[in-house]
Chains A and B, each alone.
Chain A
Amino acid sequence: MERRRLATIWLGGCSGCHMSFLDLDEWLFELAQHIDLVYSPLADVKEYPDHVDVALVEGAVANEDHLHLIRQVRERTRILIAFGDCAVTGNVTALRNPLGAPEALLHTIYIERAEIAGCLPHAPGIVPQLLDKVQPVHKVVPVDVYLPGCPPPAPRIRALLEQVIAGEDIRLTGREMIKFG
């Protein structure tokens, strides 16, 4: 069977989904028989490669860097999977949205509540600009598969990846597969 090119992406999230991915434990060895991990925060790859078969996208789109990366991912990936609640709904990452524009929030955090003379983080090219609103991935680019969960438990990730490897039409239903939270 042809080996699939897998990528995992970490946008605005806590990396809990990636931790859950690692919870696949010894099944990771089996997975490694079928895939090449071509891009991941778990691997030292700087540039998102071309011709990726499957991408697991953790996290919501919260800043300019996320926006840039997710567009690149979409262009270069066949099956884009929103991986976990932040990617699917915005989740905890989007909890700032009801509070309004990010400037006010940054001001509260870095100036009003700073213990010593605070200043707003400003380092173009290093610290990315926050977007006005945190968005789930499908609001920014088309998403092919949604895998809810905060984080999705390892068996759920495995069930999905087994379908991916088998090349089936991916269909997720029921409490075990699509429960949020």
Chain B
Amino acid sequence: MAARTFTIDDQLISAREGETILQAAREHGISIPTLCHLDGVSDVGACRLCLVEIEGSRALRPACVTPVVEEMVVRTDTERLREYRRMIIELLFAERNHVCAVCVANGHCELQDLAIAVGMDHVRFDYAFPRCDVDISHPLFGIDHNRCVLCTRCVRVCDEVEGVHTWDVAGRGADARVITDMRQPWGEARSCTSCGKCVLACPTGAIFRRGATVGEMERDRNKIAYIVAAREQRW
């Protein structure tokens, strides 16, 4: 496999051909914020937090799906990118009801961590305060749409790793919701195997174990990548 050398933030990087900018950066300890990316499942380039500047390209590129190219010059932390990332996080907080204080994921939430990382001390946009459902019809798990960021990790992990496709997205724009089966309550979604991979994958407090209370929803998201890697090795 051919090697590629290029620079990220003035640092010379070597990477394998076909690797994405995100993979190469992480291998070299350069952190690029992500939300929809999850090790072990496919990338969709949807959250736009990993956008980077590439010299010679007018458009910003998502690091998660952009393969490295020999001699490319990548910038991950410019003033412009920092401002855009903060705005994206603020838009997420304004769009639904993310009340950290009463969230099962408080202290273990990727959205909360991202807010700290981008320096969000308040949201400059108006909150939408939408009315969102909470579905606790499943005996083990629940989904609180107030806290969903539509990253679709649950959709992908269910489809690609568990091979079930219980989760999907219905509606569009601000009305988009993750759904189970044909928008039945989760407890009535016959395809669900209750494997809990969606619970592992969720970055926020949207999908949770029933009975968990504030701050109790800890999860080891690396397990998804571990399952995928273990399966690949056995084959």
Q: Note whether A and B contact each other (Cβ less than 8 A).
A: yes
Within 8 A of A (CB), among B106-153: 106-107, 112, 115-116, 119-123, 126-127, 129-132, 146
| CB-CB nearest in chain A for B146 | A98
Residues of B within 8 A of A110 (CB): none
Give the docked Cα–Cα distance between A37 and B115 (Å): 33
| CB-CB nearest in chain B for A96 | B129
Q: Tell me the minimal C-beta distance from B116 to chain A in angstroms.
A: 5
Is the Cβ of B102 less than 8 Å from the Cβ of A92?
Answer: yes
Is the Cβ of A181 less than 8 Å from the Cβ of B121?
Answer: no
Q: Does A97 contact B (CB under 8 A)?
A: yes
Is the Cβ of A82 less than 8 Å from the Cβ of B122?
Answer: yes
Q: Which of A98, A100, A139, A179 contacts B132 (CB 8 A)?
A: A98
B-contact 0/1 string along A64-92, CB 8 Å cutoff: 00000000000000000010010011111
Tally of chain A residues near chain B (CB < 8 A): 30
Give the docked Cα–Cα distance between A147 and B121 (Å): 7
Question: Knowing A178-B116, A181-B100 touch, does A99 contact B131 (C-beta < 8 A)?
Answer: yes
Is the Cβ of A98 less than 8 Å from the Cβ of B129?
Answer: yes
Count A/B pairs, Cβ under 8 Å: 71
Is the Cβ of A89 less than 8 Å from the Cβ of B123?
Answer: yes
Question: Knowing A98-B132, A174-B116 touch, does A181 contact B103 (C-beta < 8 A)?
Answer: yes
Tally of chain B residues near chain A (CB < 8 A): 25
Is the Cβ of A92 less than 8 Å from the Cβ of B122?
Answer: no
Q: Tell me the minimal C-beta distance from B124 to chain A in angstroms.
A: 8
| CB-CB nearest in chain A for B93 | A89
Is the Cβ of B121 less than 8 Å from the Cβ of A172?
Answer: yes
Residues of B within 8 A of A21 (CB): none
Question: Knowing A95-B99, A179-B112 touch, does A89 contact B129 (C-beta < 8 A)?
Answer: no
Is the Cβ of B127 less than 8 Å from the Cβ of A89?
Answer: yes
Residues of B within 8 A of A173 (CB): 119
A-contact 0/1 string along B38-70, CB 8 Å cutoff: 000000000000000000000000000000000
Q: Does A143 contact B (CB under 8 A)?
A: yes
Known contacts A92-B99, A181-B101; 8 additional CB pairs below 8 A are A85-B100, A89-B127, A97-B127, A97-B129, A98-B146, A133-B129, A136-B123, A150-B100
Listed in ascending order, the chain B residues whose CB lies under 8 Å from chain A are 93, 97, 99-103, 106-107, 112, 115-116, 119-123, 126-127, 129-132, 146, 215
